[in-house]
Amino acid sequence: MNTLQSLVQRHKAGSQIGIYAVCSAHPLVIDAAILQAQNDNSVLLIEATSNQVDQFGGYTGMTPVDFRNFVLAKAKHYDFPSSNVIFGGDHLGPNRWQHLPAEEAMQKSEDLIAAYVSAGFKKIHLDCSMACADDVSPLSDEIVAQRAARLAVVAESTAIATFGSSDLVYVIGTEVPVPGGAAETLNTVDVTSPQAATKTIETHRNAFESFNIGHIWPRVIGLVVQPGVEFDHIGVIDYCSEKANLLSKVVDDYPQMVFEAHSTDYQTQQAYNELVRDHFAILKVGPALTFAMREALFNLCEIEAEIIPKAHCSNLRELIETRMCEAPEHWQKYYHGSESEQRFSRCFSFSDRMRYYWPDDVINQAQATLFRNLSRVDIPLPLLSQYMPMQFQHVREGLISLEPNSLVLDTIRQVLRAYSKACSEQIVVEV
């Protein structure tokens, strides 16, 4: 039984325990996640999504093996055991190739799955819910499940060919709306009905049987549903336990399975605690981490502007805005309204489409200049208090240094601490 299966079993036995999945490829986010796991003496689940990382490089320019090596190099730098890092693949399926005919998209999806598994990714989210160019939309549950089973066959054969056996674990299902936050303003989202959740499970189980992989069903540990959490550009829909009460009981009938909750970014501590209690024991976080990182970097830009001559400033914020306008393909379909509204969204939207632009060399150079400028001076504490009050407190308490890198990492860890607290083991006492 691997680590994730063991965690699920402990949760099913009555411990309020969960795990959060860090869904980001940014170096600073990975650094912060490793430091948080090191502090917690816990395993670390790092996930790459099918648009970030694929066999062609994704928007990060990394293949699955590149991503794994990148994260493990970070772990080695911090003396964090590589055995404590679990790699997951998120929304693996035809997501990247919806514009192609289904068979062509599925062939590319098979190559995607094989690349992830052969690189050592152990947690595989099979998501074939999206319609391809020649599909009738929406897809039936049966077609979605059959395509997922087809990919599971590839995953198993790849693991056995590469490692001699398979200890992969799987997650099935998908959330509504699309990954990464809603594209339009939302007032509410519908909680997945218990009937729909059960049908997703049963159609996948039947499909696995029909593809002669029924024996791996006990390793299907998670079901992605919509528990009623979401965020759009300027708002967050909070978790309401009462609305998800009937849904949360569905996994009681499946001894190896918990729920996986996506789009949990920006929820409250109480919401995270209640999600884990209600069997949403795998919590995904992504945009909130780069959003916090962006806040920290822009606050450092404000400090820089106060103490560094303008001619020597990094101009990081201005450069990002320029690059986003020069290459609008990552935000144009999502940010609407007037020019001023679009400019606001490019900078401040909770959906954080800015995260697609951080790998840019010009932006990285500007960030390096920002860090270099502020490392050469003593950041005045009054300025730190003005722009980064939480980090001011942590500096005063001796928890972190005044180095800009340390300030950014601590800001990202503010997000991770809430997840860590919710996922730490507590015994559920029935009232």
pLDDT digits (tens, 9 = 90+) for 365-405: 999 999 999 999 999 999 999 999 999 999 999 999 999 99
Residue 315: Cβ within 10 Å count = 17
CA nearest neighbour of 405 among 384, 381, 362, 375: 375
Lookup result for tokens 């404590």: 84
**Banded model confidence at residue 123, pLDDT cuts 50, 70, 90:** very high
pLDDT at 181 over 80: no
pLDDT at 24 over 70: yes
**Banded model confidence at residue 185, pLDDT cuts 50, 70, 90:** low
CA dist 185 and 350 (Å) reads 11
pLDDT at 183 over 80: no
pLDDT in tens, 276-331: 999 999 999 999 999 999 999 999 999 999 999 999 999 999 999 999 999 999 99
Please provide residue 61's backbone torsions phi and psi, each rounded to the nearest 5 degrees.
Answer: 80, 10
pLDDT at 430 over 60: no
CA nearest neighbour of 115 among 96, 97, 89, 95: 89
Average pLDDT in the 101-109 region?
98
pLDDT at 109 over 80: yes
pLDDT in tens, 74-88: 999 999 999 999 999
- List, in order, residues 6 or more apart from 83 with CB less than 8 Å away: none
AA letter at 24? S
Percent of the chain past pLDDT 70, that is, above it, reads 96
Please provide residue 89's backbone torsions phi and psi, each rounded to the nearest 5 degrees.
Answer: -115, 130
pLDDT value of residue 188? 80
Burial 198-216 (b: 16+ CB within 10 A, else e): bebbebbbbbbeebebeeb
pLDDT at 415 over 70: yes
CA dist 380 and 175 (Å) reads 45
- Cβ 52 vs Cβ 60: under 8 Å: yes
Q: For the chain, what is the mean pLDDT?
A: 95
pLDDT at 427 over 50: no
pLDDT value of residue 66? 98
- pTM metric for this prediction: 0.94
Tokens matching residue 35:
């430091």
For 127, 161, 204, 210, 327, the CA distances from 214, given in Å and listed in that order, are 18, 19, 10, 8, 46
Q: Which domains does the chain have, with CATH numbers?
A: 3-289+418-427 (3.20.20.70), 290-415 (1.10.400.20)
Average pLDDT in the 226-236 region?
95
For 19, 327, 416, the CA distances from 413, given in Å and listed in that order, are 15, 30, 5
pLDDT value of residue 1? 54
Average pLDDT in the 347-363 region?
95
Angle between helices 404-423 and 27-40 (to 10 degrees): 50
Lookup result for tokens 């094989």: 114
For 67, 219, 381, the CA distances from 208, given in Å and listed in that order, are 29, 12, 60
Percent of the chain past pLDDT 90, that is, above it, reads 94
pLDDT at 426 over 80: no
The dihedral built from the CA positions of residue 413, 417, 418 and 423, taken in this order, carries a sign that is: positive
Q: Among 138-142, 176-180, 328-332, name the one with the lowest average pLDDT.
A: 176-180
